[in-house]
Each structure stands twice: as C-alpha cells, then as structure tokens.
C-alpha cells in the first residue's frame, strides 16, 4: 500500500476545502437557518408533532442527510472530474499507485468534507431547537456510511462524466428527487398507500428512516433494514468502482 | 553500458481498431539521451504513454531496470518521470505544492530541501508561491519537468519538450536537458525536429507509422544524412574497378554496367570533378549519369512532409 500517495491525494483534495473553509462553513449555516424559518416555523406551527416528535426536530435528520448526500456526491465527482478536465490525471495514472489508493484518497476527502458539513448543520439546528440524540453511535455510523457510499457514487459519476453538464445531471435528475421523496421532511405515514409502496423502492428512504431512528428511536422501517440498505448500496458502488478500474473505463486508453 | 529500458515487440491497437504501435523493440542505455524522431501521428506519444502506464499495451513487454511495467508496475514507475506533451496542470494550484504532491504520489517522503533543489535548478524558486496560471508557457513546462523530477527518477520522458516554445526557450530547454544528463538521468525525448535531435541526443530512433525504422548514434546518422549518390552508367561493362579509380569510394554493380559514388553534399570538395578526370584517364566512356538522395534522406523528406498532419 502506497500510503504516502493516499495521503498526498487526500491532503491535496482537502486543501481546496481549507482554502474556502469560511464559505464551506457559512453556507450550510445559512441554508439550515432558512430551512428552520420556512419549515420549522411556518409549516411546523400547523403540524405540531410527527410520531411524537416536534416537527422542528423531526426534519433535522432529513436535513442533514439531504446536505450530506449532495455534498458527498458533488465533492467526489468534482474531485476526480477536475483532473480529467485539466489533464493532470496523467500523473495519477503514471504513479506507482493502484486503484484502491486513488479511491481512498478522493472518496475519503469527499466524505470528510461532507461529514464536516453534516456536523455544522447539526450544530446550527441545535441552536434552534432542543435536540437529544438517543443513539449517538448509530447516528455517527449512519452518517459516516452515508458519506462514504455517496462519495463513491460521486466518484463513479465523475469518471463517467464527459462534461460539466453530465456532472450535474445525475445529482439533479436522480439524487435530488430520491432525497426529497425519501421522507426528509415527512413521515411516510402521511402519504397515500400507493406512494407509501413506491417509497419503499427508494434507497434513500431507508437511510433517512434509520438516521431518524438514531435520533428519536422512531422509524418508518426497522433499523436493521436501514443498515442493510446502506451496506448494500455501499457494496454496489464499491463493486462498480472496482470494475471501472479493472477495465480502465473512461480513464485509460 | 547496460540497458535500463528494454522494450520488446510492444503493440498498441486503440479501441477504434487503429494500430498505433506495430511491434516496437528498443533498448535504451543507462545515462544516454535518446531522441524519438518522427512526424506527427508516428506513435511517439503512444509509445511513451504505454511505457508510463497511461495507456494499456495490447501485447508485448517492457522493463525498467529489470522491472516489468505491468506485473511490477510499482517498482518500475518509481524509476520513471514523465513530462507530457500538453501543459497538463491545475491552473489554480501553487508551484511548490505541485512538486510536493508529485513526490507524495510517487511514495516519497516530504523533502523540502529536495523540492527546493529541483525548483532552483529549473529557475522556478522565485515563483514557488505563484499559482500556475500566473506563469508563462515556458515556466509552466518547467513546472511539469519539476513535477516529473520531484521523486528523483532515473529515467525521464520528455514528450515534445520544445513544441510551441520560442527559440530562446528552446535553447534553455536544451541546457536543462544537458544538465540532467550530467546528473546521470536517462532521457528519452520525442521531437519532430531533426536539429533538436542533433543538438541533444546521443542516439536517435526514427519512428514512423508505429514502427521504429532505425536506431543510430546521432553522429553517424548526421554523417549519413548529408549523403548523396552519383550513379554512373557505362558503355562497356567492367569486371573490376580500375586502378586510377581505387582512391574513390565506388561500388560496382553486379552487371558491371554502373558505378555508384557516395559523397557528402556539405563537404567543401565533393570529389566529383576529380572523379570525372579519373574516368577519362582510365579511358572509361560514360553513357549517362544521375544523382539521388540516400534512402535515409527520403525518410527525412517524408518526415518534413509529415509535419502538420493531424496528430
Ligand atoms: N486515444 C486514441 N484513440 C485512437 N487513436 C489514437 C489515440 N491516441 C492516438 N491515436 C492515434 O495513434 C496515432 C499515433 O498518435 P501519437 O502517439 O499521438 O503520435 P505522435 O505523438 O507521434 O504525434 C495517431 O494516428 C493518432 O491518431
Ligand atoms: Mg505526440
């Protein structure tokens, strides 16, 4: 294992993040505050509680998941797409490193940044409302797994993308709807039965449900299913990435 | 001297079915400068990319200091530095950071002194804290060289180091290369300028259409390059070259009806006048005569004509 290479890639990716640390910090704080003003105050005043949890608190896990998923994808996809775009990818291909080391470097950095932003949102939310986290270990586990799984997905998108439009396409057309329809801001009990069934095919639904369980002990599905869903999703992404590097798809002629 | 790079029957067929390398076999000796000379589209970049791991070879093998580039890619690649043809740099990155990064991904521990040394040698030390996009074209290329040297490779590939570079910078680049050779780095550079190969290389490998046409010491190649052939057709066949002509470098055809004389077009005296006198002294009657360029010359005419074609 060329650990120095992993470290070099990881630090190189993180440096871009550090350079814009203020921006990275301020924007989730502002957007989270806005969500609380709009959803928590405006809508929450009519809904009161969902499954025994105040609406303001209820949306926190979904809010964190939403940001963390989008951040993981965009960080990782941009991270690997950029060297392809500038041509600097030649150096990665000619270095004494293997695919796993490249993935750990890029995906690790992307996940770290997303995790940081997830934490900032959590911190901001706790300013607005009283939050008690029932299962903190499970909460962190879900968060880390989600960051890693979606950073992997982002990595795949970044390798696949041939231009900036394609880079935006998947997050916009696939991931955003999945996240919003995955119960970020509502309990699926509130939906008509047909939609409840459809929701069960949405992998993000399991994530959010499990994550919410870690906070409040209530969930749409048993937490075991949620864990399984993240694990399966993670494995599929890992398998895809491994396959990409075996075949050199879109990176090596 | 021992070969540091051994290329054996290396073939590359691109996905579209185009055969860019048609079985390249080549040995490169430790410490030498070898120029890969060929027109655009000859396969120079493909050959280098294949050796460096950017392109997958279709068949064949290559070793660097005995390490196979596929099965022992880690050992092999640690010994190689690559300066690509294009200016592939992240515009917003910093000069010095770039070199530290390159060292890191090649598995070397951070070494500020070493990076400083490389930057100074390339006259980039003053620019270490600048962003890449603030540099001139020549400086960017030197940053690329710096990145390639940051992990102290034993073999350096320079793909068209002076393409698109003005005359002053070209000379500067030649000096950089000469200094690297001093330090014992083996250098393989590609070019489509004969003068560049002549100025820098110890040996020249001529490549065209994915094939190595010849590999020669630069001096020998240049000597042969300036040669022309004078063919003299005779009325009466000769059994052997007569004595008055023995001083000349002549070749008698098998049928005895023609003589070929090879001479240097650049020399002060081509010897043609003297040869003609010698013919009449020997009483040989000429029927016709014509001159032609050597086959090597034809290759280079082709080289020049090949320029400007799509890559
Ligand atoms: N990725 C590729 N796919 C298909 N053909 C390619 C590719 N890269 C290069 N070629 C072709 O291979 C030939 C050799 O190209 P290259 O190695 O770049 O030549 P050179 O560097 O000598 O100019 C050219 O005809 C070029 O069109
Ligand atoms: Mg080329």
Chain A CA closest to residue B97: A12
pLDDT, tens digit, 9 for 90 and up, residues B208-241: 999 999 899 998 887 777 778 888 999 989 888 8
From residue B209, how far is each of B18, B24, B45, B212, B214 by CA, in Å?
11, 11, 12, 8, 13
Establish, for the pair of chains A and B, how many residue pairs have beta carbons separated by less than 8 Å.
82
pLDDT at B308 over 50: no
The helix/strand/coil state of B19 is strand
Q: How confident is the model at residue A129 (pLDDT cuts 50, 70, 90)?
A: confident
Check residue B2 and report its DSSP letter: -
Is B207 near ligand 1, meaning CB less than 6 Å away? no
pLDDT at A235: 92
Highest mean pLDDT among A10-14, B215-219, B276-280, B295-299: A10-14
Q: Is pLDDT at B64 greater than 70 in this prediction? A: yes
For residues B170 and A106, the model is more confident at A106
Structure tokens at A12: 């190189």
How confident is the model at residue A188, as a pLDDT?
A: 79
Kindly determine whether residue A12 and residue B101, on different chains, have CB atoms separated by under 8 Å: yes
Q: Taking all residues of chain A, what is their mean pLDDT, rounded to a whole number?
A: 89
Q: If you average pLDDT over residues A120-132, what whole number do you get? A: 89
Q: Is the pLDDT of residue A89 over 70?
A: yes
Mutate which: A5, A6, A19, A96, vs B, most B CBs within 10 A: A96
Residue A176 has pLDDT above 80, yes or no: yes
- Give the ipTM: 0.89
Q: How far is the CA of A244 from the centre of ligand 1 (A)?
A: 23
What percentage of residues in chain B have a pLDDT greater than 90? Answer: 57
Q: Are A101 and A6 in contact (CB under 8 A)?
A: yes
User: In this structure, what DSSP letter does residue B94 have?
Assistant: B
Looking at residue B296, its pLDDT comes to 61
Substitution candidate for ligand 1 out of B16, B43, B47, B164 with most atoms within 8 A of CB: B43
Query: Which contacts qualify for B164-173: CB closer than 8 Å, 24 or more apart?
Result: B164/B137, B165/B137, B165/B138, B165/B141, B166/B138, B169/B137, B169/B138, B170/B196, B172/B138, B173/B138, B173/B141
Average pLDDT value for residue range B69-98: 96
Q: Is B90 on the interface with A (CB under 8 A)?
A: yes
Residue A177 CB coordination number (10 Å): 12
**Mean local confidence (pLDDT), A123-151:** 92
pLDDT band at B65 (very low <50, low <70, confident <90, very high): very high
What is the model's pLDDT at position A54?
Answer: 83
Q: DSSP letter string over A68-103?
A: HHHHHHHHHHHHHHHHHHHSTHHHHHHSS--HHHHH
**Which residue did the predictor score with more confidence, B299 or A69?**
A69
The residues, any chain, with a CB within 8 Å of residue A15's CB and separated by 6 or more, are B97
Distance CA A154, CA A171 (A): 9
Structure confidence at residue A195 as a pLDDT band (50, 70, 90): confident
- CB distance B38 to ligand 1 below 6 Å: yes
Query: In which band, very low, low, confident or very high, does the pLDDT at B309 lie, cut at 50, 70 and 90?
Result: very low
CA of B15 to the centre of ligand 1 (A): 11
What confidence score (pLDDT) does residue B301 get? 62
Q: Which of B50-59, B99-108, B168-177 has the lowest mean pLDDT?
A: B168-177
Number of other residues whose CB lies within 10 A of the CB of residue A209: 25
Confidence of residue B302 (pLDDT cuts 50, 70, 90): low
Residues flanking ion ligand 2, Cβ below 5 Å: B 44-45, 85
The segment with the largest mean pLDDT, out of A168-182, B28-42, B159-173, is B28-42
At B202, the pLDDT band (50, 70, 90 cuts) reads very high
Confidence of residue A84 (pLDDT cuts 50, 70, 90): very high
3-state SS, B192-218, equals CCHHHHHHHCCEEEEEECCEEEEEEEH
Mean pLDDT of A186-203: 84
- Sheet containing strand B67-68, strands side by side: B19-29, B3-13, B59-64, B67-68
Vertex A233 angle, CA A231 and A237, to 5°: 115
**Which residues have C-beta within 8 Å of that of residue B222, sequence separation ≥ 6?**
B198
Map out the domains of chain B with their CATH numbers: 3-223 (3.40.50.300), 227-293 (3.30.70.100)
Q: Give the domain ranges of chain A.
A: 3-247
Strands (E), B119-245: 155-159, 186-191, 203-208, 211-217, 227-234
The whole model's pTM is what?
0.86
Report pLDDT for A3: 94
> Which residue do the tokens 């596929």 mark?
B70
> What HEC string does A99-142 produce?
HHHHHHHHHHHHHHHHHHHHHHHHHHHHHHCCCCCCCHHHHHHH
What are the tens digits of pLDDT across the range B275-290?
Answer: 888 888 888 888 998 8
Q: What mean pLDDT comes out for the span A183-188?
A: 81
Strands B211-217 and B203-208: antiparallel
Task: Evaluate: CB of B16 within 6 angstroms of ligand 1.
Answer: yes
Is the CB of B18 inside a 6 Å radius of any atom of ligand 1?
Answer: yes
pLDDT of amino acid A65? 92
CB-CB neighbors (< 8 A) of A11 in chain B: 104
Predicted local confidence at residue B304, as pLDDT: 52
A234 close to A152: Cβ distance less than 8 angstroms: yes
pLDDT for res A162? 92
| pLDDT tier for residue A110 given thresholds of 50, 70 and 90 | very high
Lowest mean pLDDT among A50-59, A102-111, A170-179, B149-158: A50-59
CB B44 less than 6 A from any atom of ligand 1: yes
Give the lowest-confidence range in B106-110, B137-141, B168-172.
B168-172
Closest CA to B104 of A105, A248, A240: A105
- Please state, as a whole number, how many other Cβ atoms lie within 10 Å of the Cβ of residue A227: 17
Average pLDDT over residues A78-85: 93
Q: Does residue B310 register a pLDDT over 70?
A: no
Q: Is B88 touching A (CB cutoff 8 A)?
A: yes
Q: Tell me which chain B residues have a C-beta less than 8 angstroms from the C-beta of A84.
A: none
Closest Cα in chain B to A4: B107
- Ligand nearest the Cα of residue B36 is 1
Inter-chain residue contact A4 with B107, CB threshold 8 Å: yes
Instruction: Categorize the per-residue pLDDT at B311 as very low, low, confident or very high, splitting at 50, 70 and 90.
Output: very low
Q: Is A66 on the interface with B (CB under 8 A)?
A: no
* Confidence category of residue B272, pLDDT binned at 50, 70, 90: confident
Torsion of CA A35, A39, A40, A44, to 10 degrees: 180
What residue owns the CA closest to ligand 1's atom 24?
B41
Which residues from chain A sit within 8 angstroms of residue B45, using beta carbons? Answer: none
What's the whole-number mean pLDDT along residues B104-123? 95
C-alpha A110: how far from chain center: 10
């Amino acid at each position: 294992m060329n650990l120095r290479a992993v470290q070099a890639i990881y630090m190189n990716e993180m440096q871009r993040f550090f350079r814009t640390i203020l921006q990275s910090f301020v924007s989730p704080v502002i957007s989270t505050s806005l969500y609380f003003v709009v959803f928590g105050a405006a809508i929450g005043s009519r809904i009161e509680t969902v499954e025994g949890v105040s609406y303001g608190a209820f949306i926190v896990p979904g809010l964190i998941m939403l940001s963390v998923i989008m951040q993981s994808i965009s960080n990782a996809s941009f991270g690997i797409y950029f060297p392809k775009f500038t041509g600097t990818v030649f150096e990665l291909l000619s270095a004494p490193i293997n695919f796993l080391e490249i993935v750990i470097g890029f995906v690790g950095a992307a996940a770290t940044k997303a995790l940081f932003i997830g934490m900032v949102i959590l911190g901001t939310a706790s300013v607005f409302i009283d939050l008690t986290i029932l299962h903190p270990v499970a909460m962190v586990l879900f968060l880390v797994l989600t960051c890693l799984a979606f950073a992997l997905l982002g990595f795949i998108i970044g390798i696949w993308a041939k231009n900036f439009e394609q880079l935006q396409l998947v997050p916009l057309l696939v991931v955003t709807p999945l996240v919003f329809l995955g119960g970020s801001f509502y309990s699926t009990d509130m939906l008509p039965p047909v939609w409840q069934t459809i929701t069960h095919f949405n992998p993000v639904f399991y994530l959010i449900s499990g994550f919410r369980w870690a906070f409040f002990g209530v969930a749409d599905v048993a937490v075991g299913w949620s864990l399984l869903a993240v694990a399966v999703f993670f494995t599929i992404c890992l398998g895809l990435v491994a396959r990409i590097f075996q075949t050199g798809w879109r990176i090596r002629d | 001297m021992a070969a540091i790079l051994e290329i054996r029957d290396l073939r590359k067929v691109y996905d579209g079915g185009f055969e860019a390398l048609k079985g390249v076999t080549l040995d490169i000796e430790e410490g030498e400068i070898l120029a890969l000379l060929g027109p655009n589209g000859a396969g120079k970049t493909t050959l280098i990319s294949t050796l460096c791991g950017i392109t997958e070879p279709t068949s064949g093998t290559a070793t660097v200091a005995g390490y196979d580039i596929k099965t022992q890619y880690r050992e092999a690649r640690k010994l190689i530095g690559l300066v690509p043809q294009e200016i592939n740099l992240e515009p917003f990155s910093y000069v010095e950071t770039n070199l530290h990064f390159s060292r890191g991904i090649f598995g070397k521990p951070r070494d500020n002194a070493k990076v400083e040394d490389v930057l100074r040698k390339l006259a980039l030390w003053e620019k270490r804290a600048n962003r890449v996009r603030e540099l001139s074209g020549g400086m960017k290329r030197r940053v690329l060289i710096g990145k390639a040297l940051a992990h102290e490779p034993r073999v350096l590939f320079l793909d068209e180091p002076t393409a698109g570079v003005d005359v002053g910078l070209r000379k500067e680049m030649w000096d950089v290369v000469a200094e690297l050779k001093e330090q014992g780095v083996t250098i393989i550079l590609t070019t489509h300028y004969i003068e560049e190969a002549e100025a820098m290389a110890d040996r020249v490998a001529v490549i065209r259409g994915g094939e190595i046409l010849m590999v020669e010491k630069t001096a020998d190649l240049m000597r042969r390059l300036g040669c022309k052939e004078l063919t003299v057709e005779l009325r009466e066949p000769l059994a052997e070259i007569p004595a008055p002509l023995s001083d000349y470098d002549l070749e008698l055809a098998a049928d005895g009806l023609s003589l070929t004389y090879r001479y240097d077009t650049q020399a002060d005296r081509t010897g043609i006048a003297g040869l003609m006198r010698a013919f009449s002294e020997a009483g040989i009657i000429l029927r016709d005569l014509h001159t032609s360029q050597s086959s090597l010359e034809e290759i280079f005419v082709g080289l020049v004509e090949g320029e400007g074609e799509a890559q």
